[in-house]
Amino acid sequence: MLATSDAVHRLRAAGCVFAEEEAAVLAEAAADTAGLAAMVDRRAAGEPLEQIVGYADFAGVRVRLRQGVFVPRVRSELLVRLAATEAAEGSVVVDLCCGSGALGLAVRTAVPGITLHAADLDPVAVACARDNLGGGVHQGDLYAALPGHLRGGVDVLIANVPYVATRHIPFLPAEARDHEPRTALDGGDDGLAVFRAVAAQARDWLSPTGLLLSEITEAQAATACAIADGNGLTAAVTSDDDLDAYAIIVRPAPAR
Ligand SMILES: C[S@@+](CC[C@H](N)C(=O)[O-])C[C@H]1O[C@@H](n2cnc3c(N)ncnc32)[C@H](O)[C@@H]1O
């Protein structure tokens, strides 16, 4: 049995900076005081709050989450904003590496009437994305998961791929290292291994006026642009200081 005030004390003792706020969220989600105690135990052990309560509030939508699924980050609202600006009713939008499907859900909420497909390698993420999106969620390795009829017709390709360089993984917060799958985080030697694979086939899947949007770091910008250029694409990088976010905007290069 646990009262909310006890939950605050336990969370604070466990090092939670926002103990009051988190205790309130857990208390609202718990069925009873025993349930609250169990949730506080999990949070004190370092599990992300969103995985415990089973949802994350992201870009104005409530996204259902499961244990072990990447928690959508506030900085990814930049990708949502860019995608929503580009998409219109009838656009074909793909959320590749969709995790929970948070980005696709937010874009579909902002721009009703799009045709949305989402895909991920991880079956747990796919199940979670189906919770959020219903149909149109596919499992598999990048484009191999997508229905073939989308080839050459994707208007907005959102790919929030894993982009942490392998050597930086040990410096991530324990919440991410211990409770999010390595495949959701690790982008290989320079963090751009999955982006390279996405860029390599982007021209085949985008419509002639389509675009690919990916989150990157400031340090990755020059290399990411060179990767795009080497695959017959043109790239621009944009950022949002408030969100501490960088995104690369990639389009098919005009024929020479
Ligand atoms: C950084 S997370 C982003 C998840 C989601 N888009 C979001 O922003 O919340 C990266 C996702 O890519 C998926 N992923 C990694 N490699 C993949 C691959 N080769 N094919 C498909 N999905 C992959 C992971 O399972 C993970 O869900």
pLDDT digits (tens, 9 = 90+) for 234-245: 999 999 999 999
Residues 38 and 164 placed together within one structural domain of the fold: no
Mutate to test the pocket of ligand 1, among 70, 76, 133 (most ligand atoms within 8 A of CB): 70
pLDDT digits (tens, 9 = 90+) for 139-172: 999 999 999 999 999 999 999 999 999 999 999 9
Residues 152 and 97 placed together within one structural domain of the fold: yes
Residue 256, pLDDT score: 67
Q: Which of 46, 64, 82 is the C-terminal boundary of a domain?
A: 64
> Which pLDDT band holds residue 5 (cuts at 50, 70, 90)?
confident
Residue 248, pLDDT score: 98
Residues 225 and 165 placed together within one structural domain of the fold: yes
Q: Which of 64, 92, 107 is the C-terminal boundary of a domain?
A: 64
**CA–centroid distance, residue 103 to ligand 1 (Å):** 11
> Which pLDDT band holds residue 223 (cuts at 50, 70, 90)?
very high
Q: Which structure tokens are listed for 128?
A: 């979670």
Q: For the CA atoms of 44, 45, 46, 47, what is the dihedral angle to 10 degrees?
A: -100
Interval 108-134 mean pLDDT: 98
On whether residue 46 sits in a domain, the answer given is: yes
Residues 78 and 50 placed together within one structural domain of the fold: no
Residues 23 and 94 placed together within one structural domain of the fold: no
Residues 86 and 20 placed together within one structural domain of the fold: no
Does residue 183's CB lie within 6 angstroms of at least one atom of ligand 1?
yes
Residues 80 and 202 placed together within one structural domain of the fold: yes
**How far is 22 from 12, CA to CA, in rounded Å?**
10
**CA–centroid distance, residue 118 to ligand 1 (Å):** 11
pLDDT digits (tens, 9 = 90+) for 14-51: 999 999 999 999 999 999 999 999 999 999 999 999 99
Does residue 142's CB lie within 6 angstroms of at least one atom of ligand 1?
yes
**How far is 85 from 111, CA to CA, in rounded Å?**
9
One-character DSSP codes across 165-211: -GGGGGGS-HHHHHHS-GGGTB--TTS-HHHHHHHHHHHHHEEEEEE
On whether residue 9 sits in a domain, the answer given is: yes
Top pLDDT among 211 and 254 is at 211
Q: Alpha carbon 169 to chain centroid distance?
A: 17
What distances in angstroms separate CA 241 from CA 56, 78, 86, one per listed residue? Answer: 22, 10, 21
Top pLDDT among 5 and 138 is at 138
The secondary structure element, H or E, covering residue 86 is helix 77-86
Residue 158: phi and psi, rounded to 5, are -90, 125
On whether residue 59 sits in a domain, the answer given is: yes
> Which pLDDT band holds residue 3 (cuts at 50, 70, 90)?
confident
- Neighbour tally for 45: CB within 10 Å: 11
**CA–centroid distance, residue 69 to ligand 1 (Å):** 9
What distances in angstroms separate CA 9 from CA 2, 30, 62, 133, 149, one per listed residue? Answer: 11, 17, 28, 37, 55
Does residue 214's CB lie within 6 angstroms of at least one atom of ligand 1?
no
Mean residue pLDDT across the chain: 96
Residues 42 and 104 placed together within one structural domain of the fold: no
**CA–centroid distance, residue 6 to ligand 1 (Å):** 37
Interval 56-73 mean pLDDT: 97
Residue 1, pLDDT score: 55
Q: Which structure tokens are listed for 233?
A: 């694409």
Does residue 72's CB lie within 6 angstroms of at least one atom of ligand 1?
yes
Does residue 97's CB lie within 6 angstroms of at least one atom of ligand 1?
yes
CATH number of the domain to which 202 belongs:
3.40.50.150
Mutate to test the pocket of ligand 1, among 66, 77, 107, 120 (most ligand atoms within 8 A of CB): 120
Residues 99 and 189 placed together within one structural domain of the fold: yes
Return the residue whose CA atom lies nearest to atom 7 of ligand 1: 72
Q: Which of 33, 64, 95 is the C-terminal boundary of a domain?
A: 64
Q: Which residues contact 222 (CB under 8 A, 6 or more apart)?
A: none
Residues 44 and 131 placed together within one structural domain of the fold: no
Residues 111 and 212 placed together within one structural domain of the fold: yes
Helix, strand, coil tally for the chain in percent (to 5): 45, 20, 30
On whether residue 69 sits in a domain, the answer given is: no
Interval 204-215 mean pLDDT: 98
- Ligand 1 atom closest to Cα of 79? 8
DSSP 93: E
**Is the full-model pTM beyond 0.75?**
yes
On whether residue 215 sits in a domain, the answer given is: yes
Are 205 and 151 in contact by the 8 Å Cβ rule? The answer is yes
Residues 51 and 104 placed together within one structural domain of the fold: no
Return the residue whose CA atom lies nearest to atom 17 of ligand 1: 121
Using a pLDDT cut of 70, give the percent of the chain over it: 99
Domain range for 113 is 74-252
Number of domains the chain contains: 2
